[in-house]
A and B are shown apart, each in its own frame.
Chain A
Amino acid sequence: MSLRSDEETPDGFPETPVIAVRGIAKHFGSIQALRSVDLDVHKGEVVGLIGDNGAGKSTLVNILSGALQPNAGAILLDGQPVNFTSSLEARRAGIETVYQDLSLAPDLSVWQNIFLGREKTVKGPLRYMGWLDRRAMVREAAEDLDRTHIRIGSVNSLAGRLSGGQRQAIAVGRAVSWGSRVLLMDEPTAALGVEQQETVGELIRSVSSHGVPILLITHNLPQVHKLADRVAVLFHGRIVADLRCSEVTVDDMVSWITGAALGTERHAG
């Protein structure tokens, strides 16, 4: 792989980043949403992406998840350049997005939601009719959720009957069970109560401890400070700071988001 030389980052990560963003730019007409964004996410890392409304967070997420195409720059997945024309392609390459609305079908059961779009069919002649292998999917769904330490009473419950935290857990469990290499989470706790935010926090730590890195897009600074290893701050379409959570306070993050820190420290990028 050609990019092995770009190793030994100051953070001390020895291996190629799972996902590397290089010089991504995107404009909508005359609005420059992103100007040359660079970002690395390594194996097992939780990286927060923070910034004020309009800073470009969603644009960046949409580009990474394949919903938008950048005007310039490259995305490298395990060092290999990738190019997505649709979210399905991004997903096939291993970039899973847990959308803010979770994308669950409330009238379907947990296992049906987990396997939607890649249903298992039985062997034998009935497979030509698309006959579902219900037993296998129920079993595997339970195993998948178990592996990520997600506790749902029964994978046969309807998704719409679960609490917000449980729904979030299923969306994450589904993303992980698709064999994702990197997980994008868009405002995972925006709609949740305090206790459930805690549960999702545990979930995020559990997933990343299995080696799947997470890019966490959120407004919730105390939470991202607690959960993430690093935060990247977007300001006017540029990453202006890459902070280690252990070395900064929430107030430091606020001053980067609002641009106040730019006046006192030297400009990044």
Chain B
Amino acid sequence: MSLRVPSALTPAGTTSNGSGSEGGRSERSAWLNAVDRFGDYWMLGVFVIMLLVFGLLSPSHDLFTRASWLNISQYAVEFLLLAIGQTFVIITGGIDLSDGAVLGFTGMVAGVVMQGLLNSHANVTLTTVAGFATALALGALIGFVNGYLITRLKLPPFIVTLGSLTAIGAGATPLINGGNEVINLPSQIGTIGQTLIGGWIYVPVLVAGLSCVFMGLLLHRTRFGLRTYAIGSNGTGARRAGIKVDNHLVKVYTLSGLLAGLAGMMVMANFTDASPLAGQNDELNAIAAVVIGGASLFGGRGHMLGTVVGTFIIALLVTGLVLIGVSGSWQEVATGVIVVAAVAGDQVRLRLADR
């Protein structure tokens, strides 16, 4: 028999906040606001410094060319789409380790579906549409299952999505099409990837940009977004305010999966093939971008613009290091260092705020 001990039996007045001297409050607030503001904008400064350093170090200032922009933006699409969904997830205080694996898996399944339709002489446009529908629906489904397991079985998001990452990325994806790339795709897929708008924007970049704008508005201007913050900031309080926290979390993970499916299609368009290797380790870049962008892994904080800047910091880092001739391994080291620095900065900020 389980006894519920009335909370009257526990000592009252043990909340941690608000005690101590209140004398220097206004002074402290000004200082904290400055810290906050710095915390919100430091990555913009880092971005500008990186631009200058790589720009000056690169031979004949290659960084400031159209070709270099096209290269960086095309590279960024992949984890920008993942980072958008990841932003919502991290703001709720969760994490989605599976989105890179979902990217690869949905791309492969959509590729096989389209290949099969083409082989049976289906209409090319319809085949393309079917490919998109497959990837988006499959991504959303995997996200839904993640969210369902997290909320209904009360499992930590880290464990559930790590399980999905392993089961899908290492398990299911290599089984599709015998682990081979799918090359026989509708011509539209290649057209999407290669079409330049105004000479500066590839279609996948535009898709990622529009997704950012839409999801940014959803996050910062709507009830859904506000509740996303509330859940990450104080889950119990959100529940007491009448928010259906579990349902909301399921929606957030579903959204993350849906965007990973879209990313799967965009990566396919970039390379005009579906590869079982697509998306590997992308989840780390996406998480890094979100954290660099000012989100807290403890939830409640983050913004879409920060995620965009964070994404471009990573894309610039990788491309810039290539331009100045640094080897691939060092790029990984640099990314790792930046992520740890961003999380450490977040910690310092929290500790200052707690004092």
Q: Check A58 against B19 for contact (C-beta < 8 Å).
A: no
Determine if A125 is an interface residue (Cβ-Cβ < 8 Å): no
Number of interface residues of A (CB under 8 A): 51
Q: How does the 8 Å CB contact mask read for B195-231 relative to A, with 1 for contact and 0 for none?
A: 0000000000000000000000010011110110110
| Residues of chain B within 8 A of A54, CB atoms compared | 6, 8-9
The answer to whether A107 and B226 touch (CB under 8 A), given A191-B19, A193-B20, is no
Chain A, range 159-216, C-beta contacts under 8 Å to B: 160-161, 163-165, 167, 187, 190-193, 195-196
17 pairs from A and B in contact (CB 8 Å cutoff): A29-B3, A53-B9, A53-B10, A54-B8, A59-B8, A87-B240, A105-B233, A107-B229, A108-B226, A108-B230, A108-B233, A116-B226, A116-B241, A119-B226, A161-B32, A193-B22, A219-B13
Q: Check B20 against A105 for contact (C-beta < 8 Å).
A: no
> Which B residues form the contact surface with A (CB < 8 A)?
1, 3-22, 25, 29, 32-33, 218, 221-224, 226-227, 229-230, 232-234, 236-238, 240-243, 300-301, 353
Write the chain B residue with the least CB distance to A218: B12
Q: Check A105 against B19 for contact (C-beta < 8 Å).
A: no
Of A112, A134, A161, the most chain B CB neighbours within 10 A belong to: A161
A219 to B13, CA, bound (A): 9
Write the chain A residue with the least CB distance to B299: A107
Chain A, range 108-167, C-beta contacts under 8 Å to B: 108, 112, 116-119, 121, 129-132, 134, 160-161, 163-165, 167
| Residues of chain B within 8 A of A190, CB atoms compared | 12-15
For chains A and B in complex, what number of residue pairs have CB atoms within 8 angstroms? 138
Q: Check B222 against A117 for contact (C-beta < 8 Å).
A: no
> Which A residues form the contact surface with B (CB < 8 A)?
28-29, 31, 33, 51, 53-59, 62, 87-88, 91, 99-108, 112, 116-119, 121, 129-132, 134, 160-161, 163-165, 167, 187, 190-193, 195-196, 219
Measured CB to CB, the closest approach of chain B to A21, in angstroms, equals 16
The answer to whether A91 and B7 touch (CB under 8 A), given A116-B226, A116-B230, A121-B223, is no
